[in-house]
Amino acid sequence: MIDIMGIKALTFDVFGTVVDWRGSVIHEGKRLGSGLLVDVDWPAFADAWRQGYEPAMARVRTGELPWTKIDDLHRMILDRLLLEYGIEGLDEERKDYLNRVWHRLAPWPDAIDGLNRIRDRYVIAALSNGNVSLLTNMAKHAGLPWDCILSAELAKKYKPDREVYQTAVELLGFPSDQVMMVAAHKHDLDGAKMAGMRTAYVPRSLEFGTRHVVDVEPDDRYDMFAYDFNDLASKLGT
């Protein structure tokens, strides 16, 4: 068993791990939809928006695009989807507002309680591919109690590139093995592990909706496994 007393800080993936991006995008889409001329399949729209995200980041990671923050990648994908879905008549202000739905994502029901418990004993930080302003607005909107907000933007690289984890660890001021990455995604944890961090796997079975089956089994590759953030708080002794 891991010596939990060695851990000083935890960094958290955000999209999918802390907040329910899919439910939030669908919810806002439906509200927007009543004023549109077309009938939009918002679950499919949300999935398509998210599916555009990895390829867009890949273009930055390979150098095809210069450093581009997530707000701008989200907007590139959104502009394409508005055409594909035949959504017309949104002025710039409304497009920008819709694009910022990612600043207004709702936390999973256990997230804030768990974070508050963990925060009592450890430093807790966001460590997301989302840009700093997105994460700041989201924390303010949702009441996420981060001690500090770290982001891929600070390294101008995207997870799982090693520099993102290294930059975060350096800014937190602890040795890498005293910082634990928490994520619902194995590729993120694998990146953190490569950078010498501890890892906690908290799968989120509903991230992609009820029809998408997520592997929620514990995995020996990681130092800790938890069912949700309250379980994680308990396993961290808080």
Binding site for a copy of itself (CB under 8 A): 71, 123, 125, 131-137, 139-140, 147-149, 153-154, 171-174
C-alpha neighbours within 13 Å on the C-beta side of residue 65 = 17
**Cβ closest to a copy of itself, residue 26 vs residue 101:** 101
**Cβ closest to a copy of itself, residue 135 vs residue 232:** 135
Are the C-beta atoms of 144 and 18 separated by less than 8 Å? Answer: yes
Q: Return d(Cα 149, Cα 153) in angstroms, integer.
A: 11
Are the C-beta atoms of 188 and 170 separated by less than 8 Å? Answer: no
Closest of 150, 103, 127 to residue 200, by C-alpha:
127
**Cβ closest to a copy of itself, residue 30 vs residue 140:** 140
Smallest gap from Cβ 9 to a copy of itself, in A, equals 9
Smallest gap from Cβ 147 to a copy of itself, in A, equals 5
The one-letter amino acid at 214: V
Q: Return d(Cα 136, Cα 151) in angstroms, integer.
A: 10
**Cβ closest to a copy of itself, residue 92 vs residue 215:** 92
Smallest gap from Cβ 194 to a copy of itself, in A, equals 22
**Cβ closest to a copy of itself, residue 17 vs residue 178:** 178
Smallest gap from Cβ 85 to a copy of itself, in A, equals 27
Smallest gap from Cβ 178 to a copy of itself, in A, equals 12
Which residues are within 8 A (CB) of 237 and not within 5 positions of it... i.e. 6 or more apart? 4, 121
